[in-house]
Amino acid sequence: MSQLAGKKILILATHGFEQSELEVPHAELKKAGATVEIVSPEAGEIKGWKHKDWGLPVKVDRRLDEVKAEDYDAIVLPGGQMNPDTLRGNDKALALIKDFYDGGKVVAAVCHGPWLLIDTGIAKGRKLTSWPTVRQDLVNAGAQWEDREVVTDKGVITSRKPDDLKAFVAKIVEEVREGRHQRQAA
């Protein structure tokens, strides 16, 4: 049986997401048996960013205003500079992330994605990691920043960069499979 059979995971992104930070979790979480949906404020397609230029588009499965945290087991927040910076200006996106957190569900962010943990208030008092240039923002928000490939603190999973994606996805699978996020809701 698949490790994540019956589990549902939402990837929240918009234009400018780091290509690998959306595609790798999407593919690997599906391989693990989860239903994975790409959700965006925009319908249709969103375009990624690959290194120093635009990447490939991906199909949006559902619009942001069509989803509720209660219908999923985890949310994944890819990085790239543009993607999380745009989403942090979207009140509906921030509310959805906060709903996942408040509901005791797994919240996973990579690279610049932890910016969204600042704007939702989730970063304060947490052990987190991120892309190095996001470090000071996290520290200023009250987080304890660690330079490790993956850091988990009470259902919040963070990683630094595309090179960390294998460990990042493995930790998401572990946390969702073990139901550790359910203990958070208490």
At 105-160, the pLDDT tens digits run: 999 999 999 999 999 999 999 999 999 999 999 999 999 999 999 999 989 999 99
Q: Is residue 1 part of a domain?
A: no
Its pTM stands at 0.96
The CATH number linked to 164 is: 3.40.50.880
> Rounded mean pLDDT of 23-36?
98
pLDDT above 50: residue 183: no
Q: Is residue 2 part of a domain?
A: no
pLDDT above 90: residue 23: yes
pLDDT above 70: residue 184: no
Distances (CA, A) of 185 to 17, 101, 102, 179: 29, 9, 7, 11
> Rounded mean pLDDT of 40-46?
97
- Taking the C-alpha atoms of residue 48 and residue 19, their distance in angstroms, rounded to an integer, is 5
Could you tell me which residues come within 8 angstroms of residue 53 by beta carbon, excluding any fewer than 6 positions away?
none
Rg (CA), the chain: 15
Residue 26: active-site member: no
pLDDT above 60: residue 182: no
Helices 19-31 and 165-178 pack at an angle, to 10 degrees, of 40
- Taking the C-alpha atoms of residue 138 and residue 140, their distance in angstroms, rounded to an integer, is 5
pLDDT value of residue 95: 98
How many CB atoms are located within 10 Å of the residue 59 CB? 9
Q: Is residue 119 part of a domain?
A: yes
User: How do residues 54-103 score in pLDDT, each as one tens digit?
Assistant: 999 999 999 999 999 999 999 999 999 999 999 999 999 999 999 999 99
Q: Is residue 28 part of a domain?
A: yes
Q: Which domain holds residue 139?
A: 8-184
Active-site residue (options: 15, 26, 51, 112): 112
Q: Is residue 3 part of a domain?
A: no
Instruction: Evaluate whether 79 touches 110 at the Cβ level (below 8 Å).
Output: yes
Domain count, the chain: 1
Distances (CA, A) of 118 to 33, 95, 114: 31, 13, 7
- For the chain, how long is the longest CA-to-CA vector? 44
pLDDT value of residue 180: 62
Could you tell me which residues come within 8 angstroms of residue 51 by beta carbon, excluding any fewer than 6 positions away?
none
pLDDT value of residue 150: 98
pLDDT value of residue 52: 87
